[in-house]
Amino acid sequence: MKVLTVVSHPRVNSFTFSVADKFTQGLLEAGHETEVLDLHRIGFDPILWEADEPDWSIDRKIYSPEAEREIKRMKQFDALAYIFPVWWYSVPAMLKGYIDRVWNSGFAYGSAKLPHKQVLWLALAAESKEGMEKRQFDQMLSHQLNIAIAGYCGIANSKVELLYNTLDSNPEIHESLLKQAYQLGLNYDSVKTASV
Protein backbone atom coordinates (compact mmCIF):
# COMPACT_ATOMS: atom_id res chain seq x y z
CA MET A 1 0.00 0.00 0.00
CA LYS A 2 1.16 3.55 -0.70
CA VAL A 3 0.86 5.67 2.46
CA LEU A 4 1.27 9.45 2.58
CA THR A 5 2.78 10.28 5.98
CA VAL A 6 2.20 13.92 6.91
CA VAL A 7 4.20 15.36 9.82
CA SER A 8 3.42 18.62 11.58
CA HIS A 9 6.04 20.00 13.96
CA PRO A 10 8.22 23.12 13.73
CA ARG A 11 11.43 21.28 14.74
CA VAL A 12 12.99 18.35 12.89
CA ASN A 13 14.87 17.36 16.07
CA SER A 14 11.56 16.96 17.93
CA PHE A 15 10.23 13.75 19.42
CA THR A 16 7.41 14.01 16.86
CA PHE A 17 9.94 13.45 14.07
CA SER A 18 11.56 10.58 15.99
CA VAL A 19 8.13 8.96 16.15
CA ALA A 20 7.62 9.63 12.43
CA ASP A 21 10.98 7.96 11.64
CA LYS A 22 10.05 4.82 13.60
CA PHE A 23 6.55 4.72 12.12
CA THR A 24 7.85 4.95 8.53
CA GLN A 25 10.55 2.37 9.30
CA GLY A 26 7.74 0.00 10.30
CA LEU A 27 5.78 0.84 7.16
CA LEU A 28 8.74 0.12 4.91
CA GLU A 29 9.63 -3.12 6.67
CA ALA A 30 6.02 -4.26 6.20
CA GLY A 31 6.41 -3.71 2.45
CA HIS A 32 4.50 -0.45 2.13
CA GLU A 33 5.66 2.58 0.20
CA THR A 34 5.58 5.98 1.85
CA GLU A 35 6.43 9.62 1.32
CA VAL A 36 6.99 11.85 4.34
CA LEU A 37 5.43 15.26 3.85
CA ASP A 38 6.91 17.77 6.30
CA LEU A 39 4.46 20.67 6.30
CA HIS A 40 6.90 23.13 7.85
CA ARG A 41 9.87 22.29 5.62
CA ILE A 42 7.81 22.61 2.41
CA GLY A 43 6.73 26.04 3.66
CA PHE A 44 3.03 25.18 3.58
CA ASP A 45 0.84 28.21 4.28
CA PRO A 46 -1.97 27.12 6.64
CA ILE A 47 -4.00 30.31 6.15
CA LEU A 48 -7.11 29.84 4.05
CA TRP A 49 -7.49 32.79 1.69
CA GLU A 50 -10.30 33.44 -0.79
CA ALA A 51 -8.67 31.28 -3.50
CA ASP A 52 -9.19 28.18 -1.33
CA GLU A 53 -12.56 29.05 0.12
CA PRO A 54 -15.13 26.41 -0.92
CA ASP A 55 -17.57 27.43 -3.67
CA TRP A 56 -20.86 25.62 -3.08
CA SER A 57 -22.27 26.67 -6.46
CA ILE A 58 -19.95 24.39 -8.51
CA ASP A 59 -18.93 20.72 -8.26
CA ARG A 60 -15.16 21.24 -8.32
CA LYS A 61 -13.48 24.58 -7.93
CA ILE A 62 -9.87 25.07 -9.07
CA TYR A 63 -8.00 26.09 -5.93
CA SER A 64 -4.68 27.91 -5.43
CA PRO A 65 -1.59 26.28 -7.00
CA GLU A 66 -0.35 25.23 -3.55
CA ALA A 67 -3.64 23.53 -2.61
CA GLU A 68 -3.95 21.88 -6.05
CA ARG A 69 -0.37 20.57 -5.75
CA GLU A 70 -1.22 18.93 -2.41
CA ILE A 71 -4.50 17.53 -3.76
CA LYS A 72 -2.54 15.99 -6.63
CA ARG A 73 -0.04 14.55 -4.14
CA MET A 74 -2.82 13.00 -2.02
CA LYS A 75 -4.34 11.35 -5.11
CA GLN A 76 -1.12 9.34 -5.57
CA PHE A 77 -1.64 7.40 -2.31
CA ASP A 78 -3.95 4.62 -1.13
CA ALA A 79 -3.88 5.57 2.54
CA LEU A 80 -2.87 8.35 4.91
CA ALA A 81 -1.06 8.88 8.22
CA TYR A 82 -0.81 12.13 10.19
CA ILE A 83 1.78 12.53 12.96
CA PHE A 84 1.52 15.56 15.22
CA PRO A 85 1.69 16.85 18.79
CA VAL A 86 -1.57 17.44 20.66
CA TRP A 87 -1.77 21.18 21.33
CA TRP A 88 -4.75 22.59 23.23
CA TYR A 89 -6.28 19.10 22.98
CA SER A 90 -6.44 19.35 19.20
CA VAL A 91 -4.22 19.33 16.12
CA PRO A 92 -1.63 22.09 15.57
CA ALA A 93 -2.73 25.11 13.52
CA MET A 94 -0.43 24.03 10.68
CA LEU A 95 -2.21 20.69 10.31
CA LYS A 96 -5.66 22.23 10.73
CA GLY A 97 -4.84 24.74 7.98
CA TYR A 98 -3.63 21.92 5.73
CA ILE A 99 -6.93 20.10 6.22
CA ASP A 100 -8.91 23.32 5.65
CA ARG A 101 -7.14 24.06 2.37
CA VAL A 102 -6.44 20.58 0.95
CA TRP A 103 -9.32 18.42 2.18
CA ASN A 104 -11.57 20.77 0.26
CA SER A 105 -15.00 20.76 -1.37
CA GLY A 106 -15.22 18.79 -4.60
CA PHE A 107 -12.19 16.69 -3.63
CA ALA A 108 -12.71 15.53 -0.05
CA TYR A 109 -16.40 16.28 0.45
CA GLY A 110 -19.37 17.62 -1.47
CA SER A 111 -19.49 16.30 -5.04
CA ALA A 112 -16.60 13.87 -4.35
CA LYS A 113 -15.19 12.00 -1.35
CA LEU A 114 -11.65 10.95 -0.54
CA PRO A 115 -10.77 7.59 -2.12
CA HIS A 116 -8.27 6.56 0.57
CA LYS A 117 -8.69 3.16 2.24
CA GLN A 118 -7.71 4.30 5.71
CA VAL A 119 -6.16 7.02 7.82
CA LEU A 120 -4.16 6.84 11.04
CA TRP A 121 -3.88 9.93 13.25
CA LEU A 122 -0.80 9.44 15.44
CA ALA A 123 -1.06 12.07 18.17
CA LEU A 124 1.65 12.82 20.74
CA ALA A 125 0.23 13.99 24.07
CA ALA A 126 2.32 15.39 26.90
CA GLU A 127 -0.62 14.48 29.15
CA SER A 128 -0.98 11.07 30.79
CA LYS A 129 -3.60 8.57 29.64
CA GLU A 130 -5.52 9.15 32.87
CA GLY A 131 -5.36 12.92 32.40
CA MET A 132 -6.70 12.70 28.84
CA GLU A 133 -9.47 10.32 29.88
CA LYS A 134 -10.50 12.33 32.96
CA ARG A 135 -12.24 15.01 30.89
CA GLN A 136 -12.71 12.78 27.84
CA PHE A 137 -10.19 14.73 25.77
CA ASP A 138 -9.17 11.44 24.13
CA GLN A 139 -12.76 10.79 23.01
CA MET A 140 -13.19 14.40 21.88
CA LEU A 141 -10.09 14.19 19.64
CA SER A 142 -11.11 10.78 18.28
CA HIS A 143 -14.63 11.96 17.51
CA GLN A 144 -13.38 15.08 15.74
CA LEU A 145 -10.79 13.29 13.58
CA ASN A 146 -12.56 9.96 12.96
CA ILE A 147 -16.13 11.16 12.51
CA ALA A 148 -16.24 14.90 11.84
CA ILE A 149 -13.27 14.93 9.45
CA ALA A 150 -12.38 11.48 8.05
CA GLY A 151 -15.90 10.05 8.14
CA TYR A 152 -17.40 13.18 6.62
CA CYS A 153 -14.84 12.91 3.80
CA GLY A 154 -15.60 9.25 3.06
CA ILE A 155 -12.85 7.42 4.98
CA ALA A 156 -14.65 4.95 7.20
CA ASN A 157 -11.46 3.27 8.42
CA SER A 158 -10.00 6.04 10.58
CA LYS A 159 -8.23 5.65 13.89
CA VAL A 160 -6.64 8.01 16.39
CA GLU A 161 -3.70 6.49 18.23
CA LEU A 162 -2.47 8.52 21.20
CA LEU A 163 1.07 8.34 22.56
CA TYR A 164 1.02 9.61 26.16
CA ASN A 165 3.60 11.26 28.45
CA THR A 166 5.73 12.36 25.49
CA LEU A 167 7.50 15.10 27.49
CA ASP A 168 8.59 12.68 30.21
CA SER A 169 12.39 12.66 30.36
CA ASN A 170 12.56 8.96 31.24
CA PRO A 171 14.42 7.25 28.35
CA GLU A 172 12.47 4.02 28.92
CA ILE A 173 9.18 5.82 28.28
CA HIS A 174 10.58 7.32 25.06
CA GLU A 175 11.84 3.93 23.92
CA SER A 176 8.45 2.39 24.63
CA LEU A 177 6.69 5.11 22.62
CA LEU A 178 9.10 4.72 19.70
CA LYS A 179 8.50 0.97 19.72
CA GLN A 180 4.76 1.63 19.68
CA ALA A 181 5.18 3.95 16.67
CA TYR A 182 7.24 1.31 14.87
CA GLN A 183 4.58 -1.34 15.54
CA LEU A 184 1.87 0.98 14.20
CA GLY A 185 3.80 1.28 10.95
CA LEU A 186 4.59 -2.42 10.81
CA ASN A 187 0.94 -3.31 11.39
CA TYR A 188 -0.60 -0.45 9.40
CA ASP A 189 -2.78 -2.92 7.45
CA SER A 190 -4.51 -3.91 10.66
CA VAL A 191 -5.56 -0.35 11.56
CA LYS A 192 -9.22 -0.61 12.47
CA THR A 193 -11.68 2.11 13.19
CA ALA A 194 -11.93 2.93 16.85
CA SER A 195 -15.40 3.19 18.30
CA VAL A 196 -16.18 6.68 19.55
pLDDT at 193: 59
pLDDT at 22: 98
Checking if the pLDDT of 195 tops 80, the result is no
pLDDT at 190: 81
CATH topology of domain 2-190: Rossmann fold (3.40.50)
> CA-CA distance, 73 to 165, in Å (whole number)?
33
pTM, whole model, 2 decimals?
0.95
Checking if the pLDDT of 194 tops 70, the result is no
Residue 175 CB-density burial (10 A; 0-12 exposed, 13-18 middle, 19+ buried): exposed
pLDDT (tens digit, 9 = 90+) per residue, 116-140? 999 999 999 999 999 999 999 999 9
The whole-chain average pLDDT of the chain stands at 95
Q: Angle at the Cα of 19 (from 164 to 127), degrees rounded to 5?
A: 15
pLDDT (tens digit, 9 = 90+) per residue, 6-21? 999 999 999 999 999 9
> What are 79's strand-pairing partners?
3
> What are 36's strand-pairing partners?
5
